Amino acid sequence: MQNDRTGESLLFLTDEQLRQGIEAMFFAYRGFTADPDRILEKYNYGRAHHRAMHFINRVPGTNVNNLLKILGVTKQSLNRVLRTLIQDELVTLKIGTKDRRERHLYLTDNGKSLEKQLSTAQSHRMREAYRRVGPDAVTGFKQVLEAMMDPKLQVTYKKLRSS
């Protein structure tokens, strides 16, 4: 084996390295969702509710189509979730003034409160992880994740950052 950059690069991209990354993603995602899941269970909600609330909080007044693009599910699937959230008064609809076909979505005070609970729990674990590994590792973490996204989602992700 050569001891130049090519050699290092090949060594760096071994199957073992890749497989470790795959398994790390799998196990970490379990941890990532574990804390919110426990809270959601108490309210008889699921991850789908959490995701919807997260992005309605993130983009207040978003319409349904935009939310569908972010979440990557069908309107029927989202609609089921939204219906319960609206019934339970965690989310409100406002009919668009400019385009009256559009429904703009907002969290109610109750919705904001639950969303805060969920994001606090999820952030807490991430904060601890960040704290343990330091800023440079966090930068790398985000770079790899961003590079793994589908191009369209990468655009969506960046738009959220700058909004």
Q: How far apart are CA 24 and CA 2, in angstroms?
A: 30
Judged by beta carbon, residue 84 or residue 141, the one nearer DNA is: 84
* 106 DSSP β-pair partners: 92
Judged by beta carbon, residue 64 or residue 138, the one nearer a copy of itself is: 138
Q: Which residue has the tokens 């609609």?
A: 79
Structure tokens at 117: 């609970």
Q: What does 130 interact with, of DNA, a copy of itself, none (CB < 5 to 8 A by kind)? A: a copy of itself
Please give the sequence-ordered ranges of beta strands (E in DSSP) within 3-85, or none if there are none.
62-63
Judged by beta carbon, residue 4 or residue 99, the one nearer DNA is: 99
User: Three-state SS for 92?
Assistant: strand
Structure tokens at 109: 């005070």
* Interaction of residue 38 with DNA, rule CB under 7 A: no
Q: What does 85 interact with, of DNA, a copy of itself, none (CB < 5 to 8 A by kind)? A: none
* Interaction of residue 83 with DNA, rule CB under 7 A: yes
Compute the least distance from the CB of residue 146 to DNA, in Å: 22
Task: Report how many residues bind a copy of itself under the rule CB under 8 A.
Answer: 58
Instruction: Single out the residue of 110, 127, 133 nearest to residue 43, CA to CA.
Output: 110
Q: What does 10 interact with, of a copy of itself, DNA, none (CB < 5 to 8 A by kind)? A: none
Judged by beta carbon, residue 93 or residue 155, the one nearer a copy of itself is: 155
By CB under 8 A, name the one of 12, 87, 98, 109 that touches a copy of itself. 12
* 62 DSSP β-pair partners: 105
Q: How far apart are CA 162 and CA 159, in angstroms?
A: 5
